[in-house]
Structure 1
């Protein structure tokens, strides 16, 4: 079967959804399927090998092009060679490092534009994607890595006449963080667009229930497929050293690391686990630094700085070693 994944890249930090998609694509390829993985917005940041046919894939709806086309009519008519230049990997990675400077209003405008893509100022990017799929990939199935891409469903089905499946990955937190009127408009548009999907996939039964309620959909519209990763290199935990609680995700408020820090401080105050450590690993972007600094101050005020260890932006090998040193891992759940 020919399957194409459209995956939103992050550009400047490791992304769990990208790693899940890469692992899934690799497994499907190993099972004999013809699979493509096309990055959207920004390059993907992976800590593992990708298939050769994936490595050279172009970026669609490149972040710089999308921003300029949404804001200025001139860029809706620029030639393809100019657009390709703005989609350069180095340029997009540089832009991604400044993404935290984007205003909430601009995020709301862009999110709504992508959910109404065929009615937006981004039709040039939509045409480029459709042309590529028609001329190069010719897939039998399209997979969208998150529900914020569901604005593509209508045109993909109309123009390519194929089924579209959508994965969910914590969209409620992002949408709820948008200012009005964009929050309400985006929720309403997502509900309308997802009704046209052929399959909706949630990473857990809990999150399927959350999104079914928020979108006013029946529970049986959702299938549950837990996220998977490539397990190569991961071994059993070491039993040496003091007990250690671990966190491995983006160091952001949304991922709950602040709650874990509060819990660790409360645990140490009981006096029953004086040798326990907290080890925090994962991506830390420019936009996360102020939040992390505030957490470090809170830990210092509790007199626990020596017991909390920070491991930002781990490599694959460092991640494997980090996990082996934990007694228990706290996981942000959707």
Structure 2
């Protein structure tokens, strides 16, 4: 209903929003955070025709393609139909721009605006004494925690990286508990070398990245961009990621890419990073953060689009 905009309750809420926009906020631009709420656009266009509407696109397929086939087709068609009410679409990587323009040919001229973070919150010249891998995303199989855990165990058995540690954060839901129990069991021989953050809040982000040497979230799907990478780069932490989706574009020389996305290939990539490439990748991470993934650069790019 949020895509098609036909649900009665949804429409009531939309018109409450529009009344507020018209009578109180009176914006110059309206930017929808996701095409999954694009059903708002038609009502806005009809009521406030002179206000441009911008809409962000990112990882829609993760949600839509998990639906039943008929529901997924309806959702994609709904986005295509509602796109006529959008003045400009933006997305977070050239990878996803190409993907979405092929998936929805009705949408053309998508602008790329890389995500940005407040780098002052993440700035850190300190690194842990022991080489420490970090996983900071929802703790589930889809996001590759199992692959990373297997690679970590392989490296500990080989003792190829002295004093290697693993920190795991990002939170989980009740649906993930069985999987997490399995991962804890897998990692149990090295319990002294693994730190788990069982709680999650936004305030933990910067502190987590400052406590690791490199970020690794070996997700098992093609992602449009990973904000965890942008945050890690702001602290000068390089990445180890599979060469899939947007990762080659996002990471560049600020980390090590590997293929296939398997535990043995990941273990080899981790060895490579810490053996010879960590310092150069660390410097590249900071450079990428300064040139691309900070909020000032993002704001300037959005302002250019808003001003057109």
* TM, length-normalised to structure 2: 0.63
Q: State whether residues 128 and 212 of structure 2, in contact with CA within 8 Å, keep that contact through their aligned partners in structure 1.
A: no
Match of 1:277 in 2: 165
Structure 2 matches for 1:202-241, cutoff 5 A?
202-217=91-106, 221-241=109-129
Query: Deviation of residue 294 (structure 1)?
Result: 3.1
Query: Deviation of residue 232 (structure 1)?
Result: 3.1
Q: State whether residues 153 and 164 of structure 1, in contact with CA within 8 Å, keep that contact through their aligned partners in structure 2.
A: yes
Q: State whether residues 237 and 327 of structure 1, in contact with CA within 8 Å, keep that contact through their aligned partners in structure 2.
A: no
Q: State whether residues 15 and 43 of structure 2, in contact with CA within 8 Å, keep that contact through their aligned partners in structure 1.
A: no
Q: Which whole-Å deviations, capped at 9, do the CAs of 1:218-251 have from their partners, x for residues lacking one? A: 6x52111111122333232533421011122232
Find the residue that maps to 1:166 and give its secondary structure: strand
Unpaired runs of at least 5, structure 1: 1-112
Is 1:306 the counterpart of 2:192? The answer is: yes
Match of 2:65 in 1: 176
Query: Deviation of residue 114 (structure 1)?
Result: 1.2
Measured in 2, the distance between the counterparts of 1:216 and 1:268 equals 48
Measured in 1, the distance between the counterparts of 2:133 and 2:100 equals 30
Measured in 1, the distance between the counterparts of 2:42 and 2:97 equals 22
Unpaired runs of at least 5, structure 2: 225-308
Query: Deviation of residue 150 (structure 1)?
Result: 1.0
Query: Deviation of residue 166 (structure 1)?
Result: 1.0
Q: Which whole-Å deviations, capped at 9, do the CAs of 1:61-114 have from their partners, x for residues lacking one? A: xxxxxxxxxxxxxxxxxxxxxxxxxxxxxxxxxxxxxxxxxxxxxxxxxxxx11
Find the residue that maps to 2:168 and give its secondary structure: strand
Measured in 2, the distance between the counterparts of 1:298 and 1:191 equals 45
Q: 1:238 to 1:224 in 2, by over 3 A?
A: same
Match for 1:324 among 210, 225, 228?
A: 210
Structure 2 matches for 1:52-201, cutoff 5 A?
113-118=1-6, 120-161=8-49, 162-201=51-90
Query: Deviation of residue 145 (structure 1)?
Result: 0.9
Q: 1:230 to 1:296 in 2, by over 3 A?
A: same
Q: Which whole-Å deviations, capped at 9, do the CAs of 1:263-313 have from their partners, x for residues lacking one? A: 43344455422521221122333343333233323333xx33333221133
Q: Which whole-Å deviations, capped at 9, do the CAs of 1:153-184 have from their partners, x for residues lacking one? A: 11111111121111123221111111232112
Q: 1:222 to 1:185 in 2, by over 3 A?
A: same
Q: Which whole-Å deviations, capped at 9, do the CAs of 1:162-217 have from their partners, x for residues lacking one? A: 21111123221111111232112111111222243111111111122222222235
Q: Which whole-Å deviations, capped at 9, do the CAs of 1:98-139 have from their partners, x for residues lacking one? A: xxxxxxxxxxxxxxx111214545322122111111111111
Find the residue that maps to 2:122 and give its secondary structure: coil
Q: State whether residues 5 and 40 of structure 2, in contact with CA within 8 Å, keep that contact through their aligned partners in structure 1.
A: yes
Find the residue that maps to 1:246 and give its secondary structure: strand
RMSD after superposition: 2.5
Q: 1:189 to 1:204 in 2, by over 3 A?
A: same
Measured in 2, the distance between the counterparts of 1:269 and 1:204 equals 38
